[in-house]
Structure 1
Amino acid sequence: MATGDDPNPMEEFLRQFGIQPGPDGTFDINQLVGPLQQAFAQFSQQMSAAGDGDGLNWILVKDVARKTTAASGPDPTPSPTQAASIRDAVALADLWLDEHLAMGRIDTAPVAWSRAEWVEKTIGTWEHLTGSVSSSLTGAVAGLMDRPEPEFAGMAAMMEPMMRTAAAGMLAAHVGQGIGRLATDVLSTSDLGFPLTERPVVALLPTNVGAFADGLDVPLSDVRIYLALRETARQRLFAQVSWLGPQMLALIEKYARDLTLDSAAFEEAIEAQMSGGLSPERIEEFGNQLAGKLFKPVLTPEQTEVLGRLETLVALVEGWVDDVVTQASAAYLPRAAALLEVVRRRRASASTSEAALKTLLNLELRPRRIRDAANLWAAVRAQRGVEGRDAVWNHPDLVPTGADLDDPLGFAENGHVTPAADDLDAQLARLLDEERGKGDAS
């Protein structure tokens, strides 16, 4: 039992349901069964949208994400005029790109998305990438129920389902807010540097594009075409290079599997809920407050290696896009070089997207070597031509490594020596095989 002025969270939790201790200050477990069962049933009905306690309810995640985007400002459905402007920009981008890359056009029509539509269209990928995080809930909740007070030992079995439900709801709110924040910042489908849709599609978000262009000394139409060039090139790459997107997502999934919840922060949030009343609104509030505190900050050596590989791949993708778009736009967009610098500064800054990825997956994705990658691709193009540059993507063993970025001319002339497969490569191969198996079974 708590002493002095320190409140006992479990006692406060029981009091909110009208359950009081006896004259001696203890609870009689036999007398608690009926009231607790009634309280649990009432709470379970309230939290029916939060999931079953063993995972996340993605309807709730999506609802929180939509609320987050709505709270950030107006998010109108793109008008027919905006949609037509994006279709025209992508059509022009396709024409310009045809001469400057070997990848053919994709077969999906370009579209304009609101922030809410970006959430809807990418939620399936986020569910896959963050699914392993929810598996950490069982251990975290078990730790919460391991309390030293003997009078509460008999209640643990009854309370654990409620605590699992509360934890699942809080984590769903946390994940939903991270996705919602991303939606307020991204400019296009794969603006983060990796694919988020099942099929390649070029989509721009007019609201976010307008905010990006605000204050630039460049016409909005030029900004739109420039961003359309970047997204179209990126989607052509993902469509043509079948191994690239799955390997990037497998790296993220591998990284997420080793995430560990910060038990102390999680327990503090749960106890605060218990003392103030468990309700869907308070659970969402505490899920939002966990931003930046949910995961243990220390990465394992394997996570550090995975993150390095992922950052190199993102740098290679974005550096390749830089080179392709610079060549394709040189004769048509006088301010293309200035726009490239704006994009680079945006990537280098602590953006909303970076903070949201940190919230979602403790992922600080800062591919610092994009300029080096762009220089490498330019050197390969000068040495081997456009076809030779793009042929490097034909197999993962041909793609530059982090070490190759230090010697772009050497790579352009000789390529690199293929390293022997290590344990991490074998694990990623297994992940990719599992994904192919799922696709075959569906």
Structure 2
Amino acid sequence: MQVIDWDLAVATGTRLVRPGPQVSREEARRAVAELRRLSRVAEGHVREFTRIDTDTAPEPATIVDRPGWIKANVEGFRVVLEPLTQRMAARKDQTPAIVSAVGSRVTGVEVGAVLAFLASRVLGQYELFLPPDPSGRAATGRLTLVAPNIVHAEQELEVDPRDFRLWVCLHEETHRVQFTGVPWLREYVRAQMTEFLLVSDMDLSTLLDRLRSAADAVADAVRGGEGNLIDAIQTPEQKEILDRLTAVMTLVEGHGDYVMDAVGPSVVPSVADIRAKFHRRREGGSRVDRTVRKLLGVDLKMKQYAEGSTFVRTVVDQVGMDGFNKVWTSPETLPTQEEISRPERWIARVVGAPALPEADGTAG
């Protein structure tokens, strides 16, 4: 049983996605080659700065266009949703065939439309969930950079292309180092996502209630309120799980932002100019664009960058990089959402109170 018609999702997304910037074949070839090279350069800087060791052999980033990003994310969605698909397949006798067929096509179109919207905005990502390779071995993850979006952003912002590309690579390579250097982190995120899906209520009355909540969220967002679809359709049990997922993703996104800006000044000469212009770009867009971003939770992701970066910066300033890296010890040492906002509480719980300085200014 298909929850989503994946082929239709890909077809819809690739049909709706806007074309990338107009560049010559040679310009495109040079951009792809430089992004691959800079991803390797960035990895060295990230490993040295973060002090996170990983045994995974370095690999160049996978460079894709917008349709390629859509196809890659559909593959990831299929892996993530497999537990839910299996459970619904076990209940297939309870669902009329026509309902399953129509429902999967409707959701296929919806997923494709969402991916088309995002595919022109995402600069890169570390893909955690991939289908097994041809031998059946589970994939460990893949760093993907969306070349047309990076080129479009650097043209729109009027920034130095080489500096901007390395700056983006620093952020995305931080995610690769996080998930390859912290062995339990990937499985922790997967387990939380699986649990989130499997505590869904499937009865008709609950579904109707959530649809009404989703409609209210759309109306609120259009009026300029804070409503979003993620909050509207989750159960109380899912909210508890989502709080844990939000905390860990705020940490990894904030860590990525912190690293890209901390390493930046030494290797990206125009980093201050890039950061200022990019921040304005994140907050811009048309009224429709801002409404869709809010509904899809994209604005929440932007908030995660800021909150997570502040948490990392505060902790590193107080207890150093080695003290901060205790965050990667186990799921129990991850910060809660409350600790993200109050870093001193995480420090007290995980690191312990730092020694007070002596009168002459040296540590005791």
Instruction: Judge conservation of contact 1:138–1:164 (CA < 8 Å) in 2.
Output: no
Deviation at 1:119, TM superposition (A): 2.4
Q: Which runs of 5+ in 1 are unaligned?
A: 1-51, 144-159, 267-291, 418-442
Which residue is equivalent to 2:170? 229
Matching residue within 71, 74, 79 for 1:123: 74
User: Per the alignment, do residues 305 and 296 of structure 1 end up closer, same or farther by CA in structure 2, a change over 3 Å counting?
Assistant: closer
Which residue is equivalent to 2:103? 167
Task: Say if 2:44 is the partner of 1:103.
Answer: no
Deviation at 1:352, TM superposition (A): 6.4
Relative to structure 2, which stretch is displaced further, 393-402 or 375-384? 375-384
Task: Say if 2:128 is the partner of 1:195.
Answer: yes
Matching residue within 390, 399, 409 for 2:325: 390
Task: Say if 2:10 is the partner of 1:62.
Answer: yes
User: Which amino acid is the alignment partner of residue 177 of structure 1?
Assistant: A
Matching residue within 84, 87, 95 for 2:33: 84
Q: What is the SS of the residue equivalent to 1:185? A: coil
Which residue is equivalent to 2:220? none
Task: Say if 2:187 is the partner of 1:246.
Answer: yes
Relative to structure 2, which stretch is displaced further, 382-391 or 168-177? 382-391
User: Which amino acid is the alignment partner of residue 58 of structure 1?
Assistant: W
Deviation at 1:265, TM superposition (A): 11
User: Per the alignment, do residues 384 and 164 of structure 1 end up closer, same or farther by CA in structure 2, a change over 3 Å counting?
Assistant: closer
Mapped to 1, the partners of 2:340 and 2:11 lie a distance apart of 42
Matches within 5 A, 1:130-279: 130-131=81-82, 132=84, 160-190=96-126, 195-197=128-130, 198-257=139-198, 258=200, 262-263=207-208
User: Per the alignment, do residues 353 and 310 of structure 1 end up closer, same or farther by CA in structure 2, a change over 3 Å counting?
Assistant: farther
TM-score, normalised to structure 1's length? Answer: 0.59
Deviation at 1:102, TM superposition (A): 1.3
Bigger-Rg structure (1/2):
1
Percent of matched pairs sharing the same residue? 19
Instruction: Judge conservation of contact 2:311–2:343 (CA < 8 Å) in 1.
Output: yes
Deviation at 1:236, TM superposition (A): 0.8
Which residue is equivalent to 2:42? 93
Which residue is equivalent to 1:114? 65
Q: Give a deviation string over 1:368-410, Cα, whole Å, max 9, x none.
A: 3543432332233234433332242121111222222343245
User: Which amino acid is the alignment partner of residue 178 of structure 1?
Assistant: V
Mapped to 2, the partners of 1:293 and 1:365 lie a distance apart of 9
Q: Give a deviation string over 1:218-254, Cα, whole Å, max 9, x none.
A: 2122111100111111111111112223323433343
Instruction: Judge conservation of contact 1:133–1:259 (CA < 8 Å) in 2.
Output: no
Mapped to 2, the partners of 1:376 and 1:364 lie a distance apart of 18
Matches within 5 A, 1:3-14: none
Q: Which runs of 5+ in 2 are unaligned?
A: 131-138, 212-226, 353-364
* RMSD of Structure 2 on Structure 1 (CA): 4.1
TM-score, normalised to structure 2's length? Answer: 0.71
Mapped to 2, the partners of 1:134 and 1:346 lie a distance apart of 41
Which residue is equivalent to 1:269? none
Deviation at 1:206, TM superposition (A): 1.3
Mapped to 1, the partners of 2:197 and 2:180 lie a distance apart of 25
Instruction: Judge conservation of contact 2:210–2:232 (CA < 8 Å) in 1.
Output: no
Deviation at 1:182, TM superposition (A): 2.5
Mapped to 1, the partners of 2:277 and 2:77 lie a distance apart of 28
Instruction: Judge conservation of contact 2:42–2:166 (CA < 8 Å) in 1.
Output: yes
How many positions carry a matched residue from both structures? 317
User: Which amino acid is the alignment partner of residue 184 of structure 1?
Assistant: S
User: Per the alignment, do residues 91 and 108 of structure 1 end up closer, same or farther by CA in structure 2, a change over 3 Å counting?
Assistant: closer
Mapped to 2, the partners of 1:178 and 1:345 lie a distance apart of 23
Mapped to 1, the partners of 2:186 and 2:201 lie a distance apart of 22
User: Which amino acid is the alignment partner of residue 50 of structure 2?
Assistant: L
Matches within 5 A, 1:29-48: none
User: Per the alignment, do residues 129 and 179 of structure 1 end up closer, same or farther by CA in structure 2, a change over 3 Å counting?
Assistant: farther
Which residue is equivalent to 2:217? none
Q: What is the SS of the residue equivalent to 1:242? A: coil
